[in-house]
Structure 1
Amino acid sequence: MEIAASQQHNKFAAYFRVSTAKQGESGLGLDAQRAAVHDFCSRQGVEIAGEFVEIESGRKADRPELERALSYCRKHKATLLIAKLDRLARNVFFVSGMMESGVAFIALDMPQADRFMLHVYAAMAEEEARRISQRTKVALAAAKARGTRLGANGAALAEVHAVNADAFALQIGPDLARLQEEGASIRSVSYYLNDHDIKAFGGGRWHPTSVARTLKRYQVLHSIAV
């Protein structure tokens, strides 16, 4: 929904979603979403009349807090604010249903997007979700190839960490490889990632050693995948 259309409403509600209870309790992910919404409201000179926080996977259609948010918006003729379209869903069908719900909404990562562009971006988000799932499967296959019994007592936490690191390497590895192929040194790649606020595995800053380690991990996993 375009901003011009939404400005017919004088009330705004915000919908935030995180995927796990742990994220909900820690505020991880919520702070960034709230910052985006509050920044938008500050620039537009409007206030948020209601906030709705969902702790649910983006793959699930059962969203009680979203239903509450939609009911609120219908009752008060309010516009729903979403920090990013993928916080609504990584699913074309779900986003299409949202557009037919009769509630005006703005995805703040693409505030000027029309209906066609929202469909396109939803399709892209759905494809990325599929690719993330595939990367995780490859990471699990790599863990099994190492001879690890997934979920076994004692080694479980270490293996979960390894699987997550594998999935992360598969996600960012193609970009690291491309930068290196373009002639960038490992050190300059670490500077580039930090300058663009791209977090290393675990959420910290990049160092040449972590770039090299992640790149090597990606290359090993890629060889298994192909």
Structure 2
Amino acid sequence: MNLIAYYRVSTDKQGRSGLGLAAQESAVQQHAASGGHRIVAQFVEVESGKRADRPQLAAALAACRLHRATLCIAKLDRLARNLAFVANLMESGTDFVAVDNPTANRLTIHLLAAIAEHEREMISQRTKAALAAAKARGVRLGNPNGAAALLPGCHEAAAKSATRRQEAATKRAFAIAPVLVELAESGIVGAAAQARELNLRGIPAPKGGVWYPALIRRMRTRRALDQI
């Protein structure tokens, strides 16, 4: 079996330090070795489990379709703590396996995802209740110096966010580059024609939607694709 490995951590700090990634990678590699499977590609996402718009996961799913591979994750909660997201993923037709429960069927995965989502909601409710209780006791919440004290940090965060978006866009361009090269070599060179072919193949656009010519042209502006 061909496997596409997908690893996720929740913070930039975890991503830079490798905290959590090493354990996930080890688990997936052991699973592949024990079953005689081959890991075709690996994708790493730094994103909160609450969000469903994950470019690296979209790229991993596209790779699964291209290689007729199975998406492999170390633990179900690394994929999502959102029942609707897991359900939509399952309905997409892409097979996936969680190393911590490789024999789980569709019903089992739905139940585990529902439990994970409920746990996330309970944590959120407890946090809100604790903040409300502290406020009722007269505890001042937030920065006592007001919003002005946050401006330097906001500017720095905005710059970092822009850098991350640029890096993510470049990674998406690299991920789709081999497919666009293949299309160009087969005579499908126009942006409209390539967008139509990607949609026919069921390869999702970076944010999970459909491809359109303008998006193909934007991909080409990336250095990874300037020869296509």
Same fold (TM over 0.5): yes
Question: How far did residue 108 of structure 1 move?
Answer: 1.4
Aligned to 1:58: 49
1:150 lines up with 2:103 in the alignment? no
Tell me the amino acid that sits aligned with residue 63 of structure 2: Y
Distance 1:34 1:142, change over 3 A: farther
Counting aligned pairs with the same residue, the percent is 59
Question: CA–CA distance in 2 between the matches of 1:92 and 1:120?
Answer: 9
Is structure 2 residue 5 aligned with structure 1 residue 18? no
Shift of 1:57: 1.2
Q: Distance in 1 between matches of 2:131 and 2:69?
A: 45
**What SS does the corresponding residue of 1:90 show, helix, strand or coil?**
coil
Aligned to 1:84: 75
Aligned residue for 1:128? 119
- CA apart distance, 1:146: 5.5
- What are the Cα deviations for residues 3-47 of structure 1, in whole angstroms up to 9, with x where unaligned? xxxxxxx31111111111121112122122112112212211223
Q: CA deviation at 1:145?
A: 5.0
Corresponding position of 2:104: 113
Which amino acid letter does the alignment assign opposite residue 42 of structure 1? A
Partner SS, residue 17 of structure 1: strand
Partner of 2:63: 72
Spell out, residue by residue over 1:102-135, the C-alpha distance to the aligned partner (whole angstroms, 9 max, x if none).
2111011211111111111111111011111112
Give the structure 1 partner of residue 95 of structure 2. 104
Distance (Å, rounded) in 1 between the aligned partners of 2:22 and 2:137? 38
Q: Distance in 2 between matches of 1:31 and 1:144?
A: 40
Which amino acid is 2:132 matched to? A
Which of 30, 38, 48 pairs up with 1:47?
Answer: 38
Aligned residues: 145
Gaps of 5+ in 2: 146-228
Give the letter for the 1:54 counterpart: E
1:176-217 Cα shifts (integer Å, max 9, x gaps): xxxxxxxxxxxxxxxxxxxxxxxxxxxxxxxxxxxxxxxxxx
Alignment equivalent of 1:34, drawn from 25, 41, 47: 25
CA RMSD of aligned residues (A): 1.8
Aligned partners of 2:138, 2:74: CA distance in 1, in Å?
42
Q: Output the CA distance in 2 between the equivalents of 1:65 and 1:20.
A: 15
| SS across alignment from 1:60 | coil
How far apart are the structure 2 equivalents of 1:36 and 1:69? 18
Gapped regions of structure 1 (runs ≥ 5): 1-9, 155-226
